[in-house]
Copies of this chain bind each other. A is one copy, B any other.
């Protein structure tokens, strides 16, 4: 696509429809929409097959609503993560069809009509990790996969996890969320033949260091089919799982 645009532009120069000077300027300005405090990357959908996502942390409800509605207007599925209920209310005024998910605090708008492809299993070690697991699951569902949720299967009661083997074996990719010692992805990694995306969560206290212990554990996993995203980054795991599962 990009190469095509470039060719087209250069053909217009050849045809004399565009001066070299104007073309030079355009070549340095690829497509994004500047709304003052932000530059919306409509181009991402072209570049990466998946739309831009709004990271809500540190943005005002008004800013979230403004970006949300611009993205919505372009027809793509829209996701705003880590957004407050106030942000949702601001969004809803502009996009009444948007939905709010309380646990992971995110706003979604489903507009595409493509059916899901690929299966993602989202597993979490304890019931306290649910909000992060939910963020991952909602992301993967919104962007077009079938998601299976498996909850409360920490490694300290290994039989609970082993009992889920059939569900795990059906997945094209597994997302494993765990706080505290973060050992869940290692065990799952040894049980399945597909990629495992490990999400450390900030659940725990004391020497959990707000998720650093789980993060380090996951990075040092002996299972070679594991990679790791940032602490509490359920969204990133869901997005990446979608890329893998839809292949």
Assess the A128–B58 pair: CB atoms within 8 A.
yes
Count of chain copies: 8
Assess the B6–A10 pair: CB atoms within 8 A.
no
Assess the B217–A232 pair: CB atoms within 8 A.
no
**A227 neighbours in B (Cβ, 8 Å):** 197, 227-229, 236-237, 240
Which of B6, B13, B220, B225 is in CB contact (< 8 Å) with A204?
Answer: B220
Which of B14, B130, B218, B244 is in CB contact (< 8 Å) with A244?
Answer: B244
Which B residue sits closest to A47, measured CB to CB? B193
Assess the A190–B47 pair: CB atoms within 8 A.
yes
**Interface: A94 (CB within 8 A):** no
Which of B37, B180, B226 is in CB contact (< 8 Å) with A152?
Answer: B37
**Interface: A144 (CB within 8 A):** no
**Interface: A146 (CB within 8 A):** no
**Interface: A203 (CB within 8 A):** yes
Q: In residues 216-247 of chain A, which contact B (Cβ within 8 Å)?
A: 216-233, 235-237, 239-240, 243-244, 247
Among the stretches A19-27, A69-77, A84-92, A105-113, the one at the interface with B is A19-27
* Count of A interface residues, CB-CB < 8 Å: 111
Assess the B39–A222 pair: CB atoms within 8 A.
no
Distance, CA A189 to CA B236, complexed state (A): 12
**Interface: A206 (CB within 8 A):** yes
Assess the A43–B159 pair: CB atoms within 8 A.
yes
**A93 neighbours in B (Cβ, 8 Å):** none
Which B residue sits closest to A203, measured CB to CB? B58
Tell me the minimal C-beta distance from A71 to chain B in angstroms.
14
**Interface: A99 (CB within 8 A):** no
Assess the B49–A193 pair: CB atoms within 8 A.
yes
Given contacts A43-B157, A219-B230, A247-B247, is CB(A7)–CB(B24) below 8 Å?
yes
28 contacts between A and B (CB under 8 A): A3-B24, A10-B24, A27-B27, A28-B162, A28-B163, A30-B159, A30-B163, A32-B159, A37-B152, A38-B152, A39-B152, A48-B225, A57-B205, A63-B127, A155-B155, A155-B183, A155-B186, A180-B222, A181-B186, A181-B220, A181-B222, A194-B243, A205-B231, A207-B219, A208-B220, A224-B236, A227-B229, A227-B237
- The list of the 3 closest CB pairs from A to B, nearest first, reads A206-B231, A183-B183, A10-B20
Known: A28-B165, A206-B211. 8 other contacts (CB 8 A): A11-B20, A39-B160, A58-B128, A155-B183, A182-B220, A207-B215, A208-B230, A213-B216
